[in-house]
Amino acid sequence: MPGKMGVGNLYGLRQLAAELVFSNLSEALFGGTRAFTETS
């Protein structure tokens, strides 16, 4: 049972990390382009 819980936690952490990375990436991309167009 502890092993199953560990796997579940690991999967949940991976999902969370993926969402964080994706949101940061999209924010950096869109935010960067927005700032670039604003400055130019």
Among the residues of the chain, which ranges form H helices? Answer: 2-39
User: If you ran DSSP here, which 8-state letter would residue 32 be given?
Assistant: H
What does the mean pLDDT of the chain come to? 79
The residue among 5 and 31 whose pLDDT is bigger is 31
User: Total domain count for the chain?
Assistant: 1
Indicate the pTM of the whole model. 0.50
**Residue 1 pLDDT exceeds 60:** no
The Cα 31–Cα 14 span in angstroms is 25
Which element (helix H / strand E) includes 1?
A: none
**Residue 2 pLDDT exceeds 60:** no
Domain of residue 40, residue span: 1-40
**Residue 6 pLDDT exceeds 80:** no
pLDDT at 40: 58
Buried b or exposed e, range 22-37, using 16+ CB within 10 angstroms: eeeeeeeeeeeeeeee
